[in-house]
Each structure stands twice: as C-alpha cells, then as structure tokens.
Amino acid sequence: MRHLPVLSGVALLAGAATAQCLNTAGGSPAGLVPTYTFYTAADEGRSPPIDMQFGPAGFPMAGTVGPWTHAVVESNGVLYLTTGGGAVGTLDFGPFDVNDLRGFVGDSPRVAPFWHDLDGVLPSWACNVDTSVPGAFKVTWIDVREYGSLGPDYSFSATLYDTGIVEFAYGTIPAQPQNPALPAFAGISIGDGVGTGLETSVDLTTGPDSGALGLLFQQVNGVPSFSGRGLSLIPNGLGGYLAIVSCDAARHENYGTGCYTTQSSAYQLWTDMPSAKAALDGNGMIFAFNGTGYSATFVPGFAVTYVAPTGGATTLGVSDDGNFPITTSVPVPVPGGATAAWNVSVNGILTAAATANNAFDWTPTGVDLTNAGVAPNLAFYTWHDFNSAEVGSGPIQYEEIGGVLYVTWNGVECYGTPSPNVATWQFQVDLASGSVTMVWVSMNPATVAAASGDDTLVGITLAGPGPDAGSQLLSALPAIGADTAGLSLSAAPAPVINPSTLVTWTATNVPEFVPTSGVYLTTMFLSVNPLPGGIDLFFLGAPGCSAYIGTLDLDLGAQVTFAPTASWSLLFDNVNFAPGDVIAAQAISLNPLNPFGVTTSNGVRSTTQPQ
C-alpha cells in the first residue's frame, strides 16, 4: 500500500499547466460599434481592427498565410484575426452551426471563447482589451447573457500569446442555450473553409487533439463543462490544436452509486409503441423474489422461454379495460407472506391480490403506479391499452404447468389502429419461489397512436405508497424493496491548497455490521486512479456493488460507530499536493448483505487548486 507522499505527489496534466483563471480587471474598452443603427454595441457590436502588439510576425497559426497582426472583436464572444484590415466572414447574432466556425474560402480565422447570441447587461457590461503584458493580447467580456434571457450574467476572456497558444478563462456559466435555434460554441478555427462540415463537437475539458485539422470546438448543450475553469488551446505541431484544462476550481464530484439502493416501485415508460416494441420484442424481465423484495434483471433474448398455452388453459372473459380475479393452486411467496389470490387486468397488470391495481386505467403513468389509492397492492406491469374485446383479438389465458403459473396475452389486440394490431407476451410466476418473469414475444406494431395515447409501462410496485423515481432503463432497475438509499459518500469543503484545507468525507446510510446490533463498521480508501464507470464486484460475491477506484493507495482507517454514519479527515496543503491533483475516495462497509460481506459507496473525485 502506498503512503501519503506517493499519493500526493501524483499531479495530472491539468495541475502541471500554468493556471489561468478568470480575471476581469485591467484593459480598456475595445471600441465596439453597433453593426446596424438599430442595435446597441452591447448587443451586436464589432470593433475596428486592433493591433495585438505582436510585431510584424503577428500571431502564428499553422495552415494560414497571415501575418495575423490585428484582431476584430465582437460582442458575441468571438474575435477574428486580420492582417490589418477588416475581418472577412463576420456574422451577426452568433453561429448557427459548425460551418460558421469553418467560414468560407477567404474568411478570417476566428477565436471563440464563447460564441453565442449575447447581450451585454448595462451599466456593468464591458468588452475590454488588454495589451499591457508583452506578448499577450487579452479580450474580456464582462456581464453578458444569452439574448432574450433574464440571466444570470457571466464573464469570460480569451488571451492570445505570440507563441500561438490561446487561453480561455470562464466565470460560472449557466445552462445554454435557452434558444436552441442559436447554439453556443467554444473553440478555434483557421477559417478559410477549413474541414468538411462533418466535424463534431468535443468536450474541451477532456484533452482533445484535432490532429492536422485547424479546427477544434465544443458545442454547448446545458451547463458548459468548462464553466468556472480555464482552457489552453496549444498548437500540436501537426497543424491542429490540443486542449487542456489550465485552471480549475477546487471541488469534489460524486460519481457512481452506492449499494444497496432499493425502491418500492420501478419502471420504464415509453410514450410511443414503436419504441416500446423495439425495446421489448424477443426479450424478458426477471423479478427474482429474495424474501423481502425482488432483484430486477433484464435479459435480452429471453423470450425463447415463452410457453404457448395448451388446450388446458383457461380463457378469461373478453373486455376492453376490465380485470379478472384468479386463484393459484398454492399460495405464492410475496413480501410479508404468501397469496393464492391474484388479479389479471386486460391492460397488462398482474396484481398479487384479489383486487386489481389501477383497475380500468388505460393510461400508464408512474404517478398512478406509485399511488396507494389506485395501486395499493404488489403488482407487475406490462401496462398498455389492450382490448381483448376488439374483433380479431386473441384471448388472455392462464394455466399452471410444472409449478409455474403462465398468464398469456395470446395475440391480443391493442386499442387503436391499424388493425390487426396484436401483441403476444406472457407473465410466468414460479409458485414455489415467488419469482415473476415477463417475456415479450412480439408487441403490437402500431405506428399510429391510439386515441387514448400509446404509452407502455413495464415495471413493478410493492404494496403501499412510495415515491415516483421516474422512468428508468429496464437494464438498470435497482433492487426492489423498502425505499432506502445505498451507502453514500460525500466530502466538504473544497480542497483548496492555498495554504491548506481540512477536508472531511462523510459516509451515510451505513448498514449494520450485524443486523439489530446497532454497530457499524466502515473504512475509506483514497486512490489516484478513479474509475468513473465502476466495476461490478459480482465475481467476489458482491453483485450490484461496484469499485469506483482502481487502486487502494491510502486507507484512512476503520471507523466503529453506533449510528449509520462515519467520517474521515485529511489536510490538503501546498506541501503534499499540487494544483490539479485528482484524488478519488470510496467507502466500504462490512455487513452480511452479500456473500462477500461488504457494500461499497459511490466514488468522490476531488480536484485540488489554490482557490
């Protein structure tokens, strides 16, 4: 096991780069003038060519002729490079697509820290130019917002160096864009119609390299990944650019999920039948009973286990939205006991009680599935607007074969058009174990929505009320049980190393070391190797629990507590840590919830910075 000096001595590339964070001080107005008389300079403003003070060689840019001695600055978060004259290929209102970054043949190179349809907020708005540092030309946009929005306001800057390096620095930028017709871009382009127009956006914070292409950009959807950070765009020697993070706020980021999170209800909802059919046809879902709840497993190809009804099957009555009680030959294990009373709803609900959940309801919703007023019982769902009374419909049938109850929608019509519009699928209930399986042979092929809508919901709810967690992928449903959160880890405050910060990690929802003992045993490891995707530890006997760190570099020590929480602290200083160090943490609890005897928390990734 490595110790602290080894751990803290590992700095990532971001930490090795010179930190360039946003500083809005200094400079003088760029001299923007409205591009049209009915605009303001803060909305659609453009400067005359400004000498960058780089001398006759100008700003070096591979793949271009130049010399790029001047810059034309726009209010919309972009600057164009020129040889002293006006910019070619300027654009009002911000870019519409990647072709505006490329420009046409003969168009000026463009540097875009945040190119968007921006509006300056008076009286604090400013667009300043600073050439006070030899070899550097800095443009700062202060207090801008997306045009037509109510804010919040933000600021950012671009600094060009006579070496060819470009640095962007950003304050906190909110989700963009609010108007999707006017996208936002950050990046660099040599102009002149570079590339093909098929180039795609990259995350500039992940170290992308454009190779020989003089075009590198990120299209922003939502909160920009570079919000509050700095980026360096560095010539890569091949004609393109490499992007690295050059300033980053000290922070903690949670990733992954601790085990074992359980939900009393879980489902996936599709709002159109073609999507549901594509997801379900030929596949299956197993809800394996574990004594108190169910584990949920989506199994591609599992429809091969479909058992066609025999001549001994009982056919239920025909109905549009009705339901029919049935009785199994033996009580079936369910949470809290066993039941022989079941109810089959035409609309695809199998209730473990004589009274149907969601009776006569043809519009599947998560709210209704979790509402104890209309869904008070344990039930399993392939919920859709079926209609066995429609002309041409097959029957709904049930029978027991070999200790399994089969309930089959045998070519049952679905409400709506076209017709025939039939589905064949099945519930399989293991009478001894209580496990319930759904297999979907072929769902209805409707391409026209039914008058009532065409929603389809597959899932489960336990008896009683519970929160609606929203639609989740069938392949990622959590364990089904009482609503509880898995082992969780958090950290605070941010790991600022100027000069030091005592950081505390806190684990919550810790399971008991021995059930009913009131004793909790937990430890936590630090690692320089975060695993954001996680590795499921099923091979060790801890299925559903994941490792979110790749190495156990430092154990901060076991904690024996008498409450389901534990905490650890470590001093982050500028002696043992460098700016940009990334340290991952994960807590582990000892308990009997799986054969391996451990549960794991989510991961916490901590990034050190001087501020």
Residue 219 and residue 280 in one domain? no
Tens-place pLDDT, residues 512-524: 999 889 999 999 9
pLDDT of residue 604: 96
Residues 452 and 382 in one domain: yes
pLDDT of residue 5: 33
Would residue 11 count as lying in a domain?
A: no
User: In this structure, are residues 610 and 498 in contact, taking their beta carbons and an 8 Å threshold?
Assistant: yes
List pLDDT tens digits, range 436-450. 999 999 998 765 544
Does residue 90 lie in a domain region? yes
Apex 483 CA angle, 478 and 485, nearest 5: 70
| Co-location of 567 and 515 in the same domain | yes
Q: Are residues 325 and 428 in the same domain?
A: yes
Tell me, yes or no, whether 10 lies in a domain.
Answer: no
Residue 584 placed within a domain: yes
pLDDT at 35: 92
Residue with structure tokens 């009683």?
Answer: 464
530 and 590 part of one domain? yes
| Domain end call among 427, 456, 480 | 480
Q: Are residues 241 and 287 in the same domain?
A: no
Same domain, 195 and 277: no
Whether residue 343 contacts residue 328, with contact meaning beta carbons closer than 8 Å, is answered with no
Q: Say if residues 58 and 84 touch (Cβ distance below 8 Å).
A: no
- Residue at 4 is within a domain: no
Residues 491 and 577 placed together within one structural domain of the fold: yes
Domain that holds residue 500: 252-259+485-607
Residue 413: beta bridge partners? 422
Structural domain contains residue 582: yes
Domain-located, residue 562: yes
Could you tell me if 44 and 175 lie in one domain?
Answer: yes
User: What CA dihedral angle connects 183, 188, 193 and 198, to 10 degrees?
Assistant: -60
CATH number, domain of 570, equals 2.20.130
Query: Residues in the chain with pLDDT < 70?
Result: 1-20, 179-181, 416-418, 446-453, 611
For residue 339, give both structure tokens: 């039941």
Q: What is the pLDDT of residue 445?
A: 79
The confidence score (pLDDT) of residue 87 equals 96
Has residue 1 been placed in a domain?
no
* 218 and 305 co-located in one domain: no
114 φ, ψ to 5°?
-160, 80
Tally of structural domains, the chain = 3
Q: What is the pLDDT of residue 450?
A: 46
Among the three residues 247, 279, 299, which one is the final residue of a domain in this structure? 247
CA-wise closest residue to 194 among 108, 82, 115: 108
Task: Report DSSP letters for 475-513, one per residue.
Answer: GG--EESSSB---EEEEES--B-SSEEEEEEEEESPPPS
Instruction: Name the domain boundary from 213, 247, 281.
Output: 247
